[in-house]
Amino acid sequence: MSFVNRELSWLEFNQRVLDEALRESLPLLERVKFLAITASNLDEFFQVRVGGLHLMRTSGSRKRGITGMTPTQQLLKIRERATQMYQDQYTLLNDELLPKIKQEGIILTHRENLTPLQLQMLSDRFDEGIFPLLTPLADDQYAPMPSLPAMRIILACELVNNEDDSHRHVFIPMPEQLPRFIHLPSTENNNTSNEYLAPTEVIVAQFCDELFPDETVKSTMPFRITRNGDIAVQEEDAIDLAGEMEEVLAARKTSNTVRLELPNKAPASLKRIVREVTGASPPELYPVDGPLALTDFMSIAFMPGYDDLRDDSWQPQPSPATEPGESIFTTLAEKDILLNHPYESFEPVLRFLEEAATDPETIAIKQVLYRTASESRVIDALIKAAENGKQVTVLIELKARFDEARNLSHADELQRAGVQIVYGVKGLKTHAKIALVIRNEDGQLKRYVHLGTGNYNESTSRLYTDISYLTSLPAYGKDASLFFNAVTGRSKLTRFRKIVPAPTHMKPRLLELIAAEAKRAKNGEPAKITAKVNSLQDQEIIEALYEAAKQGVKIRLNIRGICCLKTGNRKEAKNIEVVSVIDRYLEHARIFSFHHGGRPLVFIASADWMTRNLDKRVELMIPIEDGPSKKRLIDILDAAFKDNCNAFRILDNGSSQRIERPKGKKRFRMQEHLQNQARTAAKTRAHERSTTFEPHRPSDL
Phi, psi of 696 (to 5 degrees): -75, 130
Say if strands 429-430 and 617-624 run parallel, antiparallel, or are unpaired.
parallel
The H-assigned helical ranges of 64-165 are 71-92, 98-103, 116-125
Choose, from 54, 410, 431, 595, the residue flagged as catalytic. 431
CA distances (Å), origin 277, targets 171, 172, 273, 583, 697: 10, 13, 6, 41, 78
d(CA 293, CA 180): 9
Phi, psi of 448 (to 5 degrees): -125, 140
- Least Cα distance to 621 among 581, 594, 596, 598 occurs for 594
CA distances (Å), origin 256, targets 59, 143, 252, 260: 13, 20, 9, 11
d(CA 78, CA 259): 12
**Cβ pair 204, 221 in contact under 8 A:** no
d(CA 382, CA 367): 9
**DSSP assignment of 31-42:** HHHHHHHHHHHH
**Cβ pair 560, 535 in contact under 8 A:** yes
Q: Active-site residue 431, yes or no?
A: yes
Residue 68 burial class via C-beta count within 10 angstroms: exposed 0-12, middle 13-18, buried 19 and up? exposed
**Cβ pair 558, 637 in contact under 8 A:** yes
Say if strands 337-341 and 464-471 run parallel, antiparallel, or are unpaired.
antiparallel
Residue 175 per-residue DSSP state: P
Strand partners, 440: 445
**Cβ pair 101, 300 in contact under 8 A:** yes
Phi-psi region of 591 (alpha: psi -120 to 50; beta: other; left: phi over 0): beta
Residue 323 burial class via C-beta count within 10 angstroms: exposed 0-12, middle 13-18, buried 19 and up? middle
**Cβ pair 234, 243 in contact under 8 A:** no
d(CA 500, CA 52): 30
Phi, psi of 199 (to 5 degrees): -60, 140
Task: Name the CA radius of gyration of the chain, rounded.
Answer: 28
d(CA 428, CA 274): 39
Say if strands 362-369 and 434-441 run parallel, antiparallel, or are unpaired.
antiparallel
Residue 646 per-residue DSSP state: S
With H, G, I as helix, E, B as strand and everything else as coil, classify residue 584.
coil
Strand partners, 137: 171
Residue 175 burial class via C-beta count within 10 angstroms: exposed 0-12, middle 13-18, buried 19 and up? middle
Q: Which residues form the catalytic set? A: 431
